[in-house]
């Protein structure tokens, strides 16, 4: 977990970057659909939420939580990145 703090004009902004967990499934679905919805609709049909959520919660697949990091602002997920080695 990485914490980043920035104080500007008397306000503080705390950003936490942390590894994804299976509990982030709903935010994963929302964020991934914002970034790439056309390919996913072609692949999984009009309803991508359920297959994406299921794959995210499982280990050992490219859409797994094991490959994700989330940025939290104010205790809520604000962004996500997935990466592979």
Condensed to tens digits (0 to 9), the pLDDT of residues 32-66 reads: 877 776 777 787 777 888 888 999 999 999 999 99
Domain 2-82 belongs to what architecture?
A: 3-Layer(aba) Sandwich (3.40)
| Full 3-state SS string of the chain | CEEEEEEECCEEEEEEEEECCHHHHHHHHHHHHHHCHHHHHHHHCCCCHHHHHHHHHCCCCCCCHHHEEEEEECCEEEEEEECCC
Condensed to tens digits (0 to 9), the pLDDT of residues 11-40 reads: 677 889 999 999 999 999 988 877 776 777
User: Which pLDDT value is given to residue 74?
Assistant: 85
User: Which pLDDT value is given to residue 10?
Assistant: 62
Would you kindly state where each structural domain of the chain is located, as residue ranges? 2-82
């Amino acid at each position: 977990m990485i914490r980043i703090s920035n104080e500007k004009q008397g306000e503080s902004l705390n950003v936490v970057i942390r590894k994804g967990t299976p509990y982030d499934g709903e935010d994963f679905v929302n964020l991934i659909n914002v970034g790439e919805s056309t390919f996913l609709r072609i692949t999984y049909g009009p309803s991508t939420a359920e297959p994406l959520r299921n794959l995210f919660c499982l280990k050992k697949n490219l859409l797994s939580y094991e490959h994700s990091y989330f940025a939290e602002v104010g205790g809520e997920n604000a962004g996500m990145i997935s990466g592979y080695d």
